[in-house]
């Protein structure tokens, strides 16, 4: 028995009665033999499978009809080249199957010589590398996309449907202080100062499809915090099934700093405005029980109301029953301001004090009368000194001329 | 619901009533009753209403004060409302409330002086015209 | 601002005690929001008047308040009842001009104290009075 096996092996290998046809059929690659006129002489089963053309249909027909490619009929056709150069060659070719699908194949072609050394035909084999090429293209695109994601200065993160981090970029590692490996698989809400709020935002993305400008604060392992606004959206696979959430954070620390600085400045401006108001509408105590408030310039509604509050406060504070309000320096007022002036007089009365209005200019007199309010209760004088006399009189004071101080006669 | 503390004190020949910071309607009505009772009981010359701690002045309060002033006047007395706060005075004025003919004073001392017999035309208080 | 978070946002007005409670709530809310003493007094006085109106004309109702976030911020108070409603709002406003002392105020007075006022009323259905005051800084 052993001898028979060896013999049969030897038969295959020694060349006597070698069943080359069987070998040809068994070769795992797609192979075919073509004559110098490009007729297909033989083809093996893998060739038939690759080309989509049965063996019976291939044999006897032209190679460019049974398994055509982009190089057919051109000088780049491997078979043509082999025929010409009488040497083997290798090329990457694009072929088309019987059903029209395109393939990328590595084509190895070699010349066939007869015993006399004459070229009788060409043999070519094909290896389908379509899938490989597609994978490479995909990897190239992914690595391009990946490098874009990594280049982004905004922290980017993908979160799965279970709320766990699936992937992050460098910026996320920097802002959290945690490495990519340690981040992946953990609950994304762990890295915020308000985990509940982060989870709510995540839920919102799922229920509404996306979320914009959602404010959160990221916490670094060093306790440093970063205020951000999140823009997030769900992403789906080809079938439309939601895979997870893609979220991008925008650092608004600078913006917040600017806002705070602006708020501080506004506060300073407002404080200065108040101070200016106090300087421009002073309330001075000229005698025990007598206040004088000379109003100067344009009086608007707000300024008058603020003056009203300050005057009443001063009256109570200094216990002064007399307040002289001089409006010589106020050329005109609108009806609203006039009303506030009248309100001031009434309010002072409620306190238990009295306003004496002095220096009313014609325009103001007009506005006051046109208001139609009862002006009979208001004490007025044309000059501040006149008003002062009324005040003193009311307090039981008298102004007397002393012979000593008034040196001159006149 | 209890009426808050209204203190009614007789100071020589004047009744002094101190009103609490945020009196409710019941307290205000009680004030009027107590004043009238005391007026009869003590034969005083007048009433000083100290509102220096009052933070709110609504229409019911204002109306009751005006009525009390009128009632005290009918009984031969004089009323002075003392110590109104600036914020209350401004709000009441803008709101449209008045105390009618009630006299007002900056503080209780001046008010006492205004109510007493020694009060003449000229005084340290003020006599606002209606 | 943190202080205002602990306050009730609404209060039922069914009795005179509720008017006092409404005043107190309005005071605490206005103070918490940072209004000055005079504005607080204006807000409380308006609340007193509008709550009193609910009690007098509708018997019962609700007062609500909320913080206004826009601009400098402010306060909004809403007084709602299912009372008889106001047939002529204009007339109701002018009623405050009564010369009888102590009756001044009313809706017109509230309008003068507050920055904004809106009245929505339907006869037989009820009334909603909304008032707003803004912080000046």
pLDDT score at A220: 93
Nearest alpha-carbon partner for A329 in A377, A383, A387: A383
B31-73 pLDDT per residue, tens:
999 998 898 888 888 999 999 999 988 888 999 999 999 999 9
Length of chain B: 130
Extract the tokens encoding A159.
Answer: 């979160």
ipTM of the predicted assembly exceeds 0.95:
no
Please indicate, yes or no, if residue B122 is contained in any of the structural domains. no
> Does pLDDT of C2 surpass 70?
no
CB A309 within 8 A of CB C38: yes
State the fold for domain A141-255.
Beta-Lactamase (3.30.450)
Q: Which helix (H) or strand (E) holds B28?
A: helix B25-42
pLDDT in tens, A308-366: 999 999 999 999 999 999 999 888 888 888 999 999 999 999 999 999 999 998 988 88
Residue B123: the pLDDT is 40
Does A250 have pLDDT greater than 90?
A: yes
- pLDDT per residue as tens digits for the range C97-131: 444 334 567 899 999 999 999 999 999 999 999 99
| Best CATH choice for the domain A276-394 from the list 3.30.230.10, 2.60.40.10, 3.30.750.24, 2.70.180.20 | 3.30.750.24
Residue B44 has a CB neighbour count (10 Å cut-off) of 24
Eight-state DSSP code of residue B70: H
CATH 2.30.40.10 fits A26-130, yes or no: no
Contact C89, C119 (CB under 8 A): yes
* Global confidence as pTM: 0.61
The pLDDT of A225-236, averaged and rounded, is 92
In a domain, B92, yes or no: yes
C105 with B65: Cβ contact below 8 A: no
Evaluate whether residue B98 is within a structural domain. yes
Q: The domain containing residue B20 runs over which residues?
A: 7-115
List, for residues B68-89, the tens digit of each pLDDT value. 999 999 988 899 999 999 999 9
* Residue A162 C-alpha from the chain's centroid: 24
Which residues of A fall within a CB distance of 8 Å from B94?
A: 343
Structure tokens at B91: 């709000």
Is residue B111 within 8 angstroms of chain A, CB to CB?
yes
- The pLDDT value recorded for residue C4 is 60
Hey, what domains does chain C have and what are their CATH numbers?
Answer: 3-134 (3.30.565.10)
A302 contact residues in C (CB cutoff 8 A) = 136
* Interface with B, mutate which of C96, C101, C103 (most B CBs under 10 A): C101
pLDDT at A272 over 90: no
Q: What are A86-144's pLDDT values in tens digits?
A: 999 999 999 999 888 999 999 999 999 989 989 999 999 999 999 888 888 877 877 88
Q: Would you place residue A1 in the very low, low, confident or very high pLDDT band (cuts 50, 70, 90)?
A: very low
Above 60 in pLDDT, residue A221?
A: yes
Whether the predicted pLDDT of C75 surpasses 60 = yes
Write out residues 72-91 of A within 8 Å (CB-CB) of B.
Answer: none
Banded pLDDT at A211 (limits 50, 70, 90): very high
The domain that holds B82 is classified in CATH as 3.30.750.24
* C38 to A309: CB separation less than 8 angstroms, yes or no: yes
Number of domains into which chain B is organized:
1
Establish if B81 touches chain A: CB-CB under 8 angstroms: yes
State pLDDT tens for residues A137-153: 877 877 888 888 888 88
Give the model's confidence band at A391: pLDDT under 50 very low, under 70 low, under 90 confident, else very high. Answer: very high
Residue B124 lies in a domain: no
Q: What is the DSSP string of chain C?
A: -TGGGGS-SEEEE-SHHHHHHHHHHHHHHHHHTT--HHHHHHHHHHHHHHHHHIIIIIS-EEEEEEEE-STT-EEEEEEEE-SS--S-HHHHHHGGG-SSTT---HHHHHHHHSSEEEEEEETTTEEEEEEEEE---
Same fold, A26-130 and A141-255: yes
pLDDT mean across residues, chain B: 85
Nearest residue in B to A353, CA atom: B126
Tell me the domain boundaries of chain A: 26-130, 141-255, 276-394
């Amino acid at each position: 028995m052993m001898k028979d096996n060896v013999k049969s092996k030897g038969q295959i290998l020694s060349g006597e009665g070698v069943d080359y046809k069987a070998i040809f059929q068994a070769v795992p690659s797609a192979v075919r033999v073509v004559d110098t006129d490009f007729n297909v002489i033989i083809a093996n089963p893998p060739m038939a499978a690759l080309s989509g053309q049965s063996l019976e249909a291939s044999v006897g027909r032209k190679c460019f009809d049974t398994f055509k490619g982009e190089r057919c009929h051109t000088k780049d056709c491997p078979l043509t080249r082999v025929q010409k150069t009488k040497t083997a060659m290798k090329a990457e070719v694009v072929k088309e199957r019987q059903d029209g699908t395109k393939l990328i194949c590595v084509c190895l072609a070699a010349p066939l010589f007869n015993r006399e050394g004459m070229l009788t035909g060409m043999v070519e084999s094909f290896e389908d590398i379509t899938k490989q090429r597609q994978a490479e293209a995909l990897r190239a695109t992914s690595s391009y996309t990946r490098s874009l994601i990594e280049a982004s200065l905004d922290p980017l993160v993908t979160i799965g449907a279970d709320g766990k981090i699936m992937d992050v970029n460098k910026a996320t590692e920097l802002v959290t202080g945690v490495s990519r490996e340690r981040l992946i698989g953990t609950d994304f809400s762990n890295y915020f100062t308000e985990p509940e709020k982060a989870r709510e935002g995540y839920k919102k993305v799922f229920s509404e499809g996306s979320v914009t400008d959602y404010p959160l604060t990221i916490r670094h392992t060093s306790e440093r915090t970063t205020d951000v606004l999140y823009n997030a959206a769900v992403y789906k696979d080809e079938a439309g099934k939601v895979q997870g959430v893609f979220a991008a954070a925008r650092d608004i620390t600078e913006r917040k700093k600017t806002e705070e600085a602006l708020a501080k400045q506004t506060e300073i401006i407002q404080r200065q405005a108040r101070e200016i108001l106090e300087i421009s509408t002073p309330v001075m105590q000229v005698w025990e029980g007598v206040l004088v408030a000379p109003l100067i310039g344009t009086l608007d509604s707000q300024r008058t109301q603020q003056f009203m509050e300050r005057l009443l406060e001063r009256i109570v504070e200094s216990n002064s029953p007399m307040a002289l309000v001089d409006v010589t320096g106020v050329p005109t007022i609108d009806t609203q301001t006039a009303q506030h002036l009248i309100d001031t007089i009434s309010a002072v009365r409620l306190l238990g004090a009295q306003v004496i209005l002095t220096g009313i200019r014609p325009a103001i007199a007009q506005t006051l009368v046109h208001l139609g309010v009862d002006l009979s209760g208001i004490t007025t004088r044309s000059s501040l000194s006149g008003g002062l006399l009324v005040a003193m009189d009311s307090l039981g004071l008298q102004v007397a001329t002393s012979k000593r101080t008034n040196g001159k006669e006149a | 619901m209890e009426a808050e503390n209204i203190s009614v004190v007789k100071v020589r020949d004047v009744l002094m009533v101190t009103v609490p910071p945020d009196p409710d309607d019941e307290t205000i009505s009680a004030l009027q009753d107590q004043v009238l009772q005391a007026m009869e009981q003590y034969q005083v010359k007048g009433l000083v209403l100290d509102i220096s701690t009052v933070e709110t002045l609504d229409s019911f309060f204002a109306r009751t004060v005006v009525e009390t002033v009128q009632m005290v006047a009918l009984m031969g007395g004089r009323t002075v409302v003392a110590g109104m706060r600036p914020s209350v005075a401004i709000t009441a004025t803008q709101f449209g409330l008045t105390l009618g003919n009630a006299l007002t004073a900056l503080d209780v001392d001046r008010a006492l002086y205004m109510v007493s017999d020694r009060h003449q035309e000229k005084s340290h208080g003020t006599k606002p015209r209606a | 601002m943190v202080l205002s978070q602990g306050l009730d946002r609404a209060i039922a007005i069914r009795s005179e005690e509720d008017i006092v409670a409404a005043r107190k709530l309005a005071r605490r809310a206005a103070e918490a929001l940072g209004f000055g003493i005079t504005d607080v007094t204006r807000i409380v006085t308006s609340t007193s008047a509008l709550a009193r109106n609910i009690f007098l004309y509708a018997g019962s109702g609700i007062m609500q308040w909320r913080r206004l976030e826009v601009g400098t911020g402010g306060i909004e108070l809403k007084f709602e009842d299912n009372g008889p409603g106001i047939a002529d709002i204009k007339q109701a406003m002018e009623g405050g001009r009564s010369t009888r002392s102590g009756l001044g105020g009313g809706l017109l007075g509230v309008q003068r104290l507050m920055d904004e006022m809106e009245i929505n009323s339907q006869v037989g259905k009820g009334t909603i009075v909304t008032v707003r005051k803004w912080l000046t800084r």
